[in-house]
Amino acid sequence: MKPDLELMNDKNWDVRWQVAKKINIEHLPKMMNDENHSVRWQVAKRINIDHLPKMMNDRDYYVRLEVAKRIDPKHLPKMMNDRDYYVRLEVIKRIDPKYLPMIMNDKDYIIRWEVAKRIDPKFLGEMFGFDFSPEYQKGLIKILAKREDLKNFLKNE
């Protein structure tokens, strides 16, 4: 059953959410700027990825998080400094490793730990020098101990 297109503008957000969930994806761009974040989140989950760059700066972090999960990776550098930790974490997991040095000193140590999992080994020394808290240092050591590529890197030194 396809929803009636007129319901895209219904006054109730939950009706619009149901429409966004079931409508043909060709109509979803008309709902990208809906006033309700749940509707925009549903749109972000289903819309063609070519439209996702227009949603990168949505005011709601759930929407931006969904965008970060689905957007073409070439757009991820524009999301590296998102104000929300969860969005940055998703970006770091998917971004080309060549961009990781740009965020290796993120204010959140969880982000820095995620960076440490994939960053070029030549930058690891800098990562140790950024934060001297025991919690960060221990976490970083545990992450690095699991990196198979570092074992080969150290053998070649």
Render each residue's pLDDT in the chain as its tens digit; 157 residues.
Answer: 456 778 888 899 999 999 999 999 999 999 999 999 999 999 999 999 999 999 999 999 999 999 999 999 999 999 999 999 999 999 999 999 999 999 999 999 899 999 999 999 888 888 877 777 888 888 888 888 888 888 776 666 5
CATH value at residue 21: 1.25.10.10
Q: Answer with the one of 95, 118, 146 that is the final residue of a domain.
A: 95
Tokens matching residue 92: 């770091």
Same domain, 76 and 113: no
Q: Which domain holds residue 83?
A: 1-95
Q: Is position 100 within any domain?
A: no
Same domain, 51 and 128: no
Q: Tokens 């966004």 appear where?
A: 20
Which pTM does this prediction carry?
0.85
Same domain, 8 and 81: yes
Q: Which residues contact 47 (CB under 8 A, 6 or more apart)?
A: 25, 28, 29, 32, 55
- Cite the DSSP H helix spans in the chain: 13-22, 37-46, 61-70, 85-94, 109-116, 124-130, 134-145, 148-155
